[in-house]
Structure 1
């Protein structure tokens, strides 16, 4: 007779992947229990389905799930969302009395891991968290002045509903609405996660992922993701946390990775199945099935099975869930469609689950108006934060000693360098590690091995100079006349991770060197860290105010914290929308420089 597993609640995008994993690896029937009407009630993956329209935070929910488990003779209950893990673990005794096991950590452990205040204190010595303040009531709002904007206000529950602020005033207004809450310094970087099924602090199976597209450009659940990420530092971080908590069960460590400093900042722990569980399951990392095995047959059996899994690397696209982008950034959704068509088995448009797909599409189209309203609120919030940047921009315009700092590649010019080939050469020379970027290698070697740093810089320079043979007039991303006009109002400095020789040659060939007062590169004796290059520009220019244009959002955020007036150079609408939500202008370099010239023209009339 087949075993039986309850999955609850299946009214979640994660539930199909959980059921598929269990059915593909184990000889079990999967019974789905939903708390509300949902497209997954039409999925062929579940052998039986139940619907109980009750709040999951009430005691009715675990009792109803327990009754279904007893009725169907199911030995294991697998929770899906955080509220399922919390409530079902809280009522674990009831489930046990009815002959079922809840495949979840202890309720006390879930409560600690999900407490954003206590967990950061508990793990501070093994993990790096963003600088934050717990605001118990609006009376304590002044504590945020020890933080440096941009700031993020988060709720204390599982759904933190973060809001983003470029200034203190809007942050305090949000605190008045939401206290008690947490205020963190915003961390720009790459969204990465570490997943584990662990027993007593020892991982049974691990996986890492990187988000490519999120629910909103500023953050949220994955809509396109890839994995595993091979960075050993991310695995080491996750394992330290598991050991410290002596964790048993599934967990996700959500991080933002700073490529400039090589740090993974822990944003929060999720003691539940993660929103991108489809990705790991599709690639052969069967966390749900192994979770069942661990609770039925023990951790060692689960570990033995994990070692036999055929795993691979890849991507997953939630193209149906991503339909919300049709009214936000259509190009982002077409990007998802293209990926889904290129590999339909790695998308949520499950080819054999036609009824579920159809109902999900209908539901998505019915949400279009709601998504339009939410997007309007997103843009309104962006507009509200922009005023802080405008205030700085006015200071820049009014000062007599000003400097405009340009990054070079992808900001002022488009260098015709085949970076993928260059990186392969550097890796073969042992100068770049397999999992790191060229930028990370430069920063790492600057502080650990200066001789290798200079060797890396020399090889890069050879490749960059060779590529300049393909440089053309179209490589310049700003009209030469714009640069000429800008130089009449402000001194111009180039702060680049190219060498000075390469930058000088590029500027000469494109006929703009005469408008640039100084060039600072990775070989200027101060290293490759971008904020240091900006500071050197300001020092050489003797400027009291500086405007920075760069194509890297991490550098732009750091520039704002340094007191500069930054702008993100990009022609990618998704990246532009992300920057705008923080209140920092973004767009193609030509458009940004045109706006600066307009401002300078108005400033000269006053």
Structure 2
């Protein structure tokens, strides 16, 4: 009997990549999401589709719904994809008798998710980060030695790339904080480093590293601090070793991805963010044979018999929807310039996050959901940003 897997956040391209990968290995894939238009619901790779409560609105109802789906579909492994991973971790005891999953300890999640806490963890293990100050200190002129503007203003938790603002100088910072009415306790000011974006992805099973990958982000949307739309395989040994050092010490369990800045001229690497869960560019690794979702399933089931390739090919992958939006913005805004690094752009891509030739409907579904969101926004309705706005204690 083939294994049965429940994948949450079905509205995301991350979940869609996971569903595709699992189905290729003959697994029975069930998807869940609060949104009835979730893109993975349109996929031929998904055998079961379920609406569930949003954990951000009603944590208890979300847990009850997921447990109901697990029982009805006879699920073997639960794969939480985005920040619902944190709810699953926090309620691990409720899920443990009913399903297998591979999630980190909740305290470990908080240590890496909160950017203030992340700085402390990095310092403890000798991992370099850009010079950073609390917003309140920066407003008072109390900055680390050697700090220079320009800088970036970023929330300690949530917000996504759209919440990061480039700051020219101290006066610009004060004006922006007043205009935006920001809570100084919720933000950091970090020295801006012009360098290439180096990414590291890893999967752990009970404190042991089972697979890893590194790659470079070449383009993002929205520009300049958004999500990766184009990336290519590239080795970053210092970044890889830095993340492994932290995850080893935390006895990590499950997936994790980190963003670094690599200053090639100085040969220096700086950690700027960690996703203690699955990440937006997981297709990059899958396309080169490092199948994180399938490895997750086998680890959760206690099965051996797999190994990441020792010499995987160099590949490039793309988030098609994001790349289209990036190009549209680039045509209408000189400052955006498409947001792509022009040197070394790959001529072809080996995979796309959100489009698959024999399964085109999820991309159509994503387009429909984007139109619905736009209409709601124009009508003055609230558009959900729950996974971006979540604040964790």
Shorter-chain TM range is 0.7 to 0.9
Q: Secondary structure at the match of 1:306?
A: coil
Q: Does 1:112 align with 2:117?
A: no
Q: Does the 8 Å CA contact 1:44/1:353 hold for their aligned counterparts?
A: yes
What residue in structure 2 maps to residue 3 of structure 1? 3
What residue in structure 2 maps to residue 527 of structure 1? none
- Once the two structures are superposed, residues 76-119 of structure 1 have per-residue CA deviations (whole angstroms, 9 ceiling, x without a partner) of 110111x211011111111123x112321111211111121122
| Largest Rg, 1 or 2 | 1
What residue in structure 1 maps to residue 210 of structure 2? 204
Matched residue pairs, number?
360
What residue in structure 2 maps to residue 62 of structure 1? 63
What residue in structure 2 maps to residue 154 of structure 1? 154
Task: Map 1:220-231 to 2 at 5 A.
Answer: 220-227=226-233, 229-231=234-236
Q: Does the 8 Å CA contact 1:88/1:102 hold for their aligned counterparts?
A: no
Question: For 1:57 and 1:258, how far apart are their aligned partners in 2?
Answer: 41
Distance 1:306 1:172, change over 3 A: farther
Q: Secondary structure at the match of 1:22?
A: helix
Question: Offset of 1:342 from its aligned partner?
Answer: 4.7
Equivalent residue for 2:225, pick from 219, 227, 234:
219
Task: Map 1:36-435 to 2 at 5 A.
Answer: 36=35, 37-52=37-52, 54-56=54-56, 58-59=58-59, 60-81=61-82, 83-97=83-97, 99-124=98-123, 125-135=125-135, 138=136, 141-146=139-144, 147-160=147-160, 161-175=163-177, 176-180=181-185, 181-227=187-233, 229-297=234-302, 301=304, 304-307=305-308, 311-330=312-331, 332=338, 342-343=348-349, 345-346=351-352, 348-364=354-370
Task: Map 1:574-585 to 2 at 5 A.
Answer: none
Q: Secondary structure at the match of 1:187?
A: coil
Q: TM-score, normalised by structure 1?
A: 0.55
Distance 1:32 1:238, change over 3 A: same
Distance 1:167 1:246, change over 3 A: same
Q: Does the 8 Å CA contact 1:10/1:41 hold for their aligned counterparts?
A: yes
Q: Give the number of the structure whose residues are more often helix, by fraction.
A: 1
Unaligned runs of at least 5 residues, structure 2: 332-336, 379-393
Question: For 1:87 and 1:315, how far apart are their aligned partners in 2?
Answer: 33
Structure of higher RCO (CA pairs closer than 8 Å, 6+ residues apart): 2
What residue in structure 2 maps to residue 29 of structure 1? 28
Q: Secondary structure at the match of 2:173?
A: helix
Taking only aligned residues, the RMSD between alpha carbons, in angstroms, comes to 3.0
Question: For 1:189 and 1:335, how far apart are their aligned partners in 2?
Answer: 11
Q: Secondary structure at the match of 2:326?
A: helix
Question: For 1:153 and 1:68, how far apart are their aligned partners in 2?
Answer: 41
Q: Does the 8 Å CA contact 1:319/1:349 hold for their aligned counterparts?
A: yes
- Once the two structures are superposed, residues 439-471 of structure 1 have per-residue CA deviations (whole angstroms, 9 ceiling, x without a partner) of xxxxxxxxxxxxxxxxxxxxxxxxxxxxxxxxx
Q: Secondary structure at the match of 2:232?
A: strand
Q: Secondary structure at the match of 2:307?
A: helix
What residue in structure 2 maps to residue 16 of structure 1? 16
Distance 1:311 1:340, change over 3 A: closer
Question: Offset of 1:3 from its aligned partner?
Answer: 1.6
Question: For 1:334 and 1:187, how far apart are their aligned partners in 2?
Answer: 17
- Once the two structures are superposed, residues 284-311 of structure 1 have per-residue CA deviations (whole angstroms, 9 ceiling, x without a partner) of 111111112112116xx2xx51246883
Question: Offset of 1:19 from its aligned partner?
Answer: 1.3
Question: Offset of 1:263 from its aligned partner?
Answer: 1.1
Q: Does the 8 Å CA contact 2:4/2:74 hold for their aligned counterparts?
A: yes
Question: Offset of 1:251 from its aligned partner?
Answer: 0.8
Q: Does the 8 Å CA contact 1:153/1:174 hold for their aligned counterparts?
A: no
What residue in structure 1 maps to residue 386 of structure 2? none
Question: For 1:58 and 1:126, how far apart are their aligned partners in 2?
Answer: 39
Question: For 1:334 and 1:245, how far apart are their aligned partners in 2?
Answer: 35
Q: Does the 8 Å CA contact 2:9/2:80 hold for their aligned counterparts?
A: yes
Distance 1:346 1:140, change over 3 A: closer
